[in-house]
Chain A
Amino acid sequence: MSGKRGEERNGREVVSESESARDDRSELLEDLLAGNHRALARTITKIEDRAPGYRELVSDLHAHTGDADVIGITGSPGSGKSTLVDRMAEHYRAEGLTVGIIGIDPSSPFTGGAVLGDRIRMSSTTGDMEVFFRSMSARGSLGGLSTATADAVKALDAFGKDKVIIETVGAGQNEIDIVKTADTVCVLVPPGSGDDVQMLKAGILEIGDLFVVNKADLDGADRTVMELREMIEGRSDRLSTLDADHHDRSDRSDSNGATGEESEGNAAGAHAEELSGDGPVTTVQEQGTDESDEDEEPQPESEPWTPQVLETVAKSGEGVEEFLDTLVAHREYLESSGRLERQLRNRYAEEIRALLREDSSALVERELAARGGIDAYLDRVMDNETDPYAVAEAIVGPLRECVEDRREEE
Chain B
Amino acid sequence: MSTGQTQRPIRCLVAKVGLDGHDRGAHVIARAFRDAGFEVVYSGLHKSPDEIVQAAVQEDVDVLGISILSGAHNTLVPKIVAGLEEYDAFEDTLIVLGGIIPEEDRPGLEEQGIGAIFGPGASMEEAVEFVRENAPER
A49 CA to B43 CA in the complex, in Å? 22
Within 8 Å of chain B (Cβ to Cβ): is A135? yes
Nearest A-chain residue to B55, judged by Cβ: A119
A50 CA to B138 CA in the complex, in Å? 13
Within 8 Å of chain B (Cβ to Cβ): is A269? no
**Given known A49-B8, A139-B9, contact A38–B57 (CB-CB < 8 A):** yes
A176 CA to B9 CA in the complex, in Å? 25
* B39–A107 CB distance below 8 A: yes
Within 8 Å of chain A (Cβ to Cβ): is B20? no
Taking CB atoms, residues of chain A closer than 8 Å to B57 are 37-38, 41
Nearest B-chain residue to A20, judged by Cβ: B1
Taking the closest CB of chain A, its distance from the CB of B89, in whole angstroms, is 6
The contact of B39 among A41, A51, A114, A132, by CB within 8 Å, is A114
Segment 28-78 of B: residues with Cβ below 8 Å from A: 30-31, 33-44, 47-48, 50-51, 54-55, 57-60
Taking CB atoms, residues of chain A closer than 8 Å to B51 are 126-127
Taking CB atoms, residues of chain B closer than 8 Å to A123 are 44
Within 8 Å of chain A (Cβ to Cβ): is B130? no
Label chain A's interface by main secondary structure: mixed
Taking CB atoms, residues of chain B closer than 8 Å to A37 are 57-58, 87
Q: Could you say which of A44, A107, A108, A112 has the most chain B C-beta atoms within 10 Å of its C-beta?
A: A112
Taking CB atoms, residues of chain B closer than 8 Å to A46 are 2
A52 CA to B4 CA in the complex, in Å? 10
A38 CA to B88 CA in the complex, in Å? 8
Within 8 Å of chain B (Cβ to Cβ): is A42? yes
Q: Could you say which of A24, A42, A50, A113 has the most chain B C-beta atoms within 10 Å of its C-beta?
A: A113
Taking CB atoms, residues of chain B closer than 8 Å to A111 are 34-37
Q: What class of interface size applies to chain A in its complex with B? A: 35 or more
Taking CB atoms, residues of chain A closer than 8 Å to B5 are 52
A123 CA to B43 CA in the complex, in Å? 10
* A114–B34 CB distance below 8 A: yes
* B60–A49 CB distance below 8 A: no
Taking CB atoms, residues of chain B closer than 8 Å to A117 are 41-42
Within 8 Å of chain B (Cβ to Cβ): is A331? no
Within 8 Å of chain B (Cβ to Cβ): is A116? yes
* A41–B59 CB distance below 8 A: yes
A46 CA to B8 CA in the complex, in Å? 10
* B60–A45 CB distance below 8 A: yes
Taking the closest CB of chain B, its distance from the CB of A183, in whole angstroms, is 23
* A112–B9 CB distance below 8 A: yes
* B40–A115 CB distance below 8 A: yes
Within 8 Å of chain B (Cβ to Cβ): is A134? yes
Please list the 3 inter-chain residue pairs (A to B) with the smallest Cβ-Cβ separation, ordered nearest first.
Answer: A120-B44, A113-B34, A41-B60
Other CB < 8 Å A-B pairs besides A112-B9, A114-B9, A116-B40, 17 of them? A24-B1, A41-B58, A44-B60, A45-B138, A50-B6, A52-B2, A53-B2, A108-B35, A111-B34, A113-B33, A114-B39, A126-B47, A126-B54, A127-B51, A127-B54, A133-B55, A135-B59
Footprint of A on B, CB under 8 Å? 1-3, 5-6, 8-9, 11, 30-31, 33-44, 47-48, 50-51, 54-55, 57-60, 87-89, 138
A-B contact pairs, 24 of them (CB 8 A): A24-B1, A37-B58, A38-B88, A41-B59, A44-B60, A45-B60, A45-B138, A48-B8, A49-B6, A50-B6, A51-B6, A52-B5, A108-B34, A108-B35, A111-B35, A113-B9, A113-B33, A113-B36, A119-B44, A119-B59, A120-B42, A121-B44, A134-B58, A135-B59
